[in-house]
Amino acid sequence: MSKKNKLRIIPLGGLGEVGKNMMAYEFGNDIIVVDAGIMFPDNDMLGVDYIIPDFEYLVKKASHVRALIITHGHEDHIGAIQHFIEQINVPIYATPLTRGLIEGKLSRNNAQHKANIKTVQAGESTHIGPFKIEYFHISHSIPDSVGLGITTPAGLVVHMSDFKFDHTPVDGWPTDFAKLSEFSMRGVDLLLSDSTNAERPGWTPSESVIGPAFDKVFAEAKGRVIVATFASLISRVQQVADAAAKSGRKMALAGPSMVDNVKIARKLKYLEIPDELIVPIEQAGNMPDHKVVIMCTGSQGEPSSIVGRLSAGTNRQFGLKPNDTVVLSSHPIPGNEESISKTINRLLRQGANVIHDGIAPVHVSGHAAQEEQKLLINLVRPKHFMPIHGELRQLKRHADLAKQVGIEEANIIVVENGQVVELVGNKILLGERIPGDYVFVDGESIGDIDHDIMKERGQLARNGILLIDISLDKFSGKLLHEPEILTRGFVTPAEAETLLPEIRKRVMQAVNGGDMDNEKEIVSTIKSYLHQETKRRPMVFVTLSKT
Amino acid sequence: MSKKNKLRIIPLGGLGEVGKNMMAYEFGNDIIVVDAGIMFPDNDMLGVDYIIPDFEYLVKKASHVRALIITHGHEDHIGAIQHFIEQINVPIYATPLTRGLIEGKLSRNNAQHKANIKTVQAGESTHIGPFKIEYFHISHSIPDSVGLGITTPAGLVVHMSDFKFDHTPVDGWPTDFAKLSEFSMRGVDLLLSDSTNAERPGWTPSESVIGPAFDKVFAEAKGRVIVATFASLISRVQQVADAAAKSGRKMALAGPSMVDNVKIARKLKYLEIPDELIVPIEQAGNMPDHKVVIMCTGSQGEPSSIVGRLSAGTNRQFGLKPNDTVVLSSHPIPGNEESISKTINRLLRQGANVIHDGIAPVHVSGHAAQEEQKLLINLVRPKHFMPIHGELRQLKRHADLAKQVGIEEANIIVVENGQVVELVGNKILLGERIPGDYVFVDGESIGDIDHDIMKERGQLARNGILLIDISLDKFSGKLLHEPEILTRGFVTPAEAETLLPEIRKRVMQAVNGGDMDNEKEIVSTIKSYLHQETKRRPMVFVTLSKT
């Protein structure tokens, strides 16, 4: 087979989940991109709002990029579209609900005019350059999700995005098993599959288990019920609406993204909620508590979310009441456990009742567990297998599962973001590594924060700073006045009272004694003194003016 | 009953686990203190090494404090003893192994001479002022743990520290059911019990399930096995030794606290490890890989631990080899999930195999789950119940369990640290709140870091700093030279190249134009400019000298 028949598979981003936020498929001079999402920062990524994948590789080949294909409407798959189309403005392919959510998000950021979106339906296919893309329905925690069958001259690739095999999903539309079998009969050269739950044994429960749990909570709650989840967890909104109707409560929505998304999903008929069930949040405030459900964001304990503000007592639109029942309808994203726990404690401290997935099945995962992952592999029977959507620990486990169900070890490839994989001559090979990392977004700065800055922030944060301002007479070299010292994040006022005069004295002695006449020497002397006294190492800055 | 018959129960510390690190019982002019441990900082407690409870209340009443009683040898129960006895040097009561571990820890900090430790055995009792204290054995993940029966004129209190009902513990010594039943027959006025796993249904598996899991891992590992756990998890060391012997491997210990603790526990016969099974770590380096087990610390992903350094490639004593199997024999402490995950990924990236409790039962919890918690309450049948050793979310769940098994709601009291509880006249009441919080330890500074400092560190960390040094002619008010600007954690060198000259220009224009002649005005102008340009808010400092 000719070397020209080479499909390059490129997962983009940093050391997080592989290919979750962006993947590229490159064949000759044509590139299609799958998904453009954001990631949330780790706890040690100080001051970062969110992260997008570094797609410099694609920018350099922008004239080759033909399309951006979006598998579903979650933030980690659509959140970076705005940044992407600013640099590579190609047509975007998405199913109707996904399209609606993308448009809603872009319009909240005043960028809707920039996007050229084409609607596709599960079951349809599009031809883009050498790629034939078949969209097929997969069930996930948001309706209208698709997987992709990508036929190229190098072979047939099945790209499963986030999925589970829910036989009784909220929207009644299970994963398209027939299509997967059909691919299998055609012969699949490479399967890429969701590794999120590769460490979880068994089978992820159906979303339908949540209904009865909600019914019970709604019936037993004496006051209001406040349900927090992601604004894009559209299926959950349907379940809350159903439970509200059954329990004789009205539903109010809080938060712009929640209000927007529900409006879009109702308009597009992905949510069936009668008008009379929904009341404006202001009206809900005047209704008896046991007649009210409020649906809002903040299930991850984000301080700026509605539940975050409720827990801190700083929500303006409405406050928490002692009889409220707060339902956190989600599972902690790894790294958020601590802030969620603090939020739960704060809510309890105010007298609210809190229900989370550790207490009742008010949430189930949207991702396939091990038995489903094995079933997928057996349904598709691919020649090659590449686990995606997980960190290395999940990818390795997923690779083990593939081995267990009979994929040859040599045909399984585990890589991290930035490592190109090549499908060529019926073989799967490692290609080159491309530069590729996280791009940190902080304020309006995209990519102006790098790992060095993060390191400096870590240093500032660990021990604080100490500034010394020294003015010398340029003729005598003597101090013109006492050094001025300022600290932040270093010592309490009480400790400063004893420490600072001592520093001042040492600087004065040294400078006037002629021992030190440059900033570097002073910094190093003061640093060793501080470490000796406090065993801490603040950043020390000296401004020295000779006049 | 006289008001004088009042027992005051005082959990000390901040908004963490209640009474975990320190509890006080006060009756009239006599106080006994139970445990003196440390906590590890939350992710947002920047630059803090560890936390101890604020025991200022006890310091003020130091002449009333009669004893410090230690329930078991884990860090969160013994780690603050050194700080405690520096201020309140009372006799310490501990069982033999606990005593050994305390002495080991104090001697590593050169403080062993300060402690007056009295050995007590499970089954014995001591009289201290109005308190009769009966020590009874409880099983936990460390041998020689005790619960306390505290008889006072106000009634009989049973204080369960960390415990589980393991029927087949590693040391063959289960919780003393008979003693609990005997208390029950006498009539227990108040039970305080471990809430750690109050959200976990069922029954915590016995430590004995770990043995077969280790056997399998040790037999299948092609190269070395490196087992990481807490240095104080003495029972786990026995299990590793047993599995090593069975698989024909020798065991080496790495890390001073691990080496020390094993030495102490072997000397006291709490560990049965034949001499020939143990080899020095240097010798292990010269043996065939499949003949070696290394036992070390770092199961929580701590960067400075041995596994942390192995994952980063910075461990001096020995490095990681591609065929190594690393076993993390512990469960993530809440808040550590992210750093553990990163450590696992780093180990895998170097080619090691990693086994953790999500893959095989190489760890079980040391704490009672719901069914055990209910069993304890039914065994003891107390009049009153107070959940301890948990955050509010666990305490509330534990209180629910107590209600389920028939404790009257009015007789259950849920409080957080700093809230005094009073047992008086056969009733349980809220007392006053005492000042009490975390005390942060950073370097050698104890309590010199407070919440304000932490807040400043957060500000420094989120956006970095910008310093401007301005020298003015004191007669003309004009700049003597261009302002000098320095940043840390704010902008990349590339961004600084365009931003800094602009700031310099603005400062010069404003100062020379006479618009600004004080630091405050300059700071505020520059801050708004920076926010407008970058949407970020670094801390801005101006040093202005007029000469």
For B281-309, write each residue's pLDDT tens digit.
Answer: 999 999 999 999 999 998 888 888 999 99
> Do B45 and B174 belong together in one domain?
yes
Above 60 in pLDDT, residue B224?
yes
The span from the CA of A131 to the CA of A267, in Å, is: 33
Chain B residues whose CB is inside 8 A of the A348 CB are 392-393, 396
> Do A217 and A183 belong together in one domain?
no
A-chain residue closest to B390, CA distance: A345
What local confidence, expressed as pLDDT, does residue B1 receive? 44
Residue A360 maps to a domain: no
Chain A residues whose CB is inside 8 A of the B449 CB are 492
Q: pLDDT tens digits for A394-410?
A: 999 999 999 999 999 99
- The closest CB to that of A465, out of B349, B465, B494, belongs to B465
Closest CA to A434 of A450, A420, A413: A420
The span from the CA of A306 to the CA of A259, in Å, is: 13
Residue A486 maps to a domain: yes
Q: What ipTM score was computed for the predicted complex, to two decimals?
A: 0.89
A-chain residue closest to B337, CA distance: A335
Above 60 in pLDDT, residue A3?
no
> Do A308 and A386 belong together in one domain?
no
**Contacts with A54 (C-beta within 8 Å, 6 or more apart), sequence order:** A12, A13, A14, A435, A436, A437, A438, A439, A447
Chain-chain contact of A488 with B199 (C-beta, under 8 angstroms): no
Please give the single-letter amino acid code of residue A378. N
What local confidence, expressed as pLDDT, does residue A1 receive? 44
Looking up residue B175, the CATH number of its domain turns out to be: 3.60.15.10
Chain B residues whose CB is inside 8 A of the A500 CB are none
Choose from A490, A499, A520, A523 for mutation: most chain B CBs within 10 A: A490
> Do A23 and A139 belong together in one domain?
yes
What local confidence, expressed as pLDDT, does residue A454 receive? 86
> Containing domain of residue B240, as a range?
207-355
Chain A residues whose CB is inside 8 A of the B345 CB are 15, 391-393
Chain A residues whose CB is inside 8 A of the B465 CB are 460, 465, 488
What local confidence, expressed as pLDDT, does residue B472 receive? 81
Buried b (16+ CB within 10 A) or exposed e, A249-262: bbbbbbbebbbbbb
> Do A41 and A180 belong together in one domain?
yes
Chain-chain contact of A491 with B453 (C-beta, under 8 angstroms): yes
Residue B69 maps to a domain: yes
The span from the CA of A53 to the CA of A38, in Å, is: 7
Residue A18 maps to a domain: yes
B-chain residue closest to A415, CA distance: B349
Chain-chain contact of B460 with A464 (C-beta, under 8 angstroms): yes
Question: Domains in chain B: how many in total?
Answer: 3
Choose from B46, B354, B472, B480 for mutation: most chain A CBs within 10 A: B46
Where do runs of H (alpha helix) occur along A294-336?
306-312
Chain-chain contact of A489 with B448 (C-beta, under 8 angstroms): no
> What strands lie across the sheet with B30-34, from one edge to the other?
B117-119, B92-94, B65-69, B30-34, B23-27, B6-11, B419-424, B427-433
- The closest CB to that of B489, out of A453, A534, A535, belongs to A453
Lowest mean pLDDT among A369-373, B199-203, B224-228, B475-479: B475-479
Nearest CA to CA, how far is B427 from chain A (Å)? Answer: 23
Chain-chain contact of B486 with A541 (C-beta, under 8 angstroms): yes
Q: pLDDT tens digits for B200-222?
A: 999 999 999 999 999 999 999 99
Tokens of A326: 């707060």
- Residue B388: count of CB within 10 angstroms of its CB: 27
Above 80 in pLDDT, residue B339?
yes
- The closest CB to that of B547, out of A449, A494, A547, belongs to A547
Chain A residues whose CB is inside 8 A of the B458 CB are 461
Residue A1 maps to a domain: no
> Do A228 and A372 belong together in one domain?
no
> Do A280 and A304 belong together in one domain?
yes
Q: Which of B410, B426, B443 lies at the terminal end of a domain, its last residue?
A: B443
Looking up residue B527, the CATH number of its domain turns out to be: 3.10.20.580
What local confidence, expressed as pLDDT, does residue A347 receive? 97
A-chain residue closest to B43, CA distance: A43
Q: Which of B426, B443, B460 lies at the terminal end of a domain, its last residue?
A: B443
Chain A residues whose CB is inside 8 A of the B358 CB are 199
What local confidence, expressed as pLDDT, does residue A515 receive? 64
> Do A249 and A160 belong together in one domain?
no
Chain-chain contact of A464 with B456 (C-beta, under 8 angstroms): yes
> Do A251 and A220 belong together in one domain?
yes
Please give the single-letter amino acid code of residue B454. M
> Do A467 and A516 belong together in one domain?
yes
> Do B492 and B369 belong together in one domain?
no
Q: Are B443 and B49 in contact (CB under 8 A)?
A: yes
- In this prediction, residue B515 has a pLDDT band, given cuts at 50, 70 and 90, of low
Nearest CA to CA, how far is A261 from chain B (Å)? Answer: 27
Please give the single-letter amino acid code of residue A343. T
pTM, 2 dp: 0.91
Q: pLDDT tens digits for A469-505?
A: 888 887 877 888 888 898 999 888 888 888 899 999 8
What local confidence, expressed as pLDDT, does residue B428 receive? 96
Residue A131 maps to a domain: yes
Residue B146 maps to a domain: yes
Chain-chain contact of B359 with A492 (C-beta, under 8 angstroms): no
The span from the CA of B333 to the CA of B302, in Å, is: 11
Chain-chain contact of B393 with A344 (C-beta, under 8 angstroms): yes
Q: Which of B401, B426, B443 lies at the terminal end of a domain, its last residue?
A: B443
What average pLDDT score do residues A52-65 get?
96
Chain B residues whose CB is inside 8 A of the A397 CB are 359
Nearest CA to CA, how far is B119 from chain A (Å)? Answer: 35
Residue B527 maps to a domain: yes
Looking up residue B270, the CATH number of its domain turns out to be: 3.40.50.10710
> Do A262 and A311 belong together in one domain?
yes
Pairing of strands B117-119, B125-128: unpaired
Chain A residues whose CB is inside 8 A of the B396 CB are 348
The span from the CA of A55 to the CA of A547, in Å, is: 51
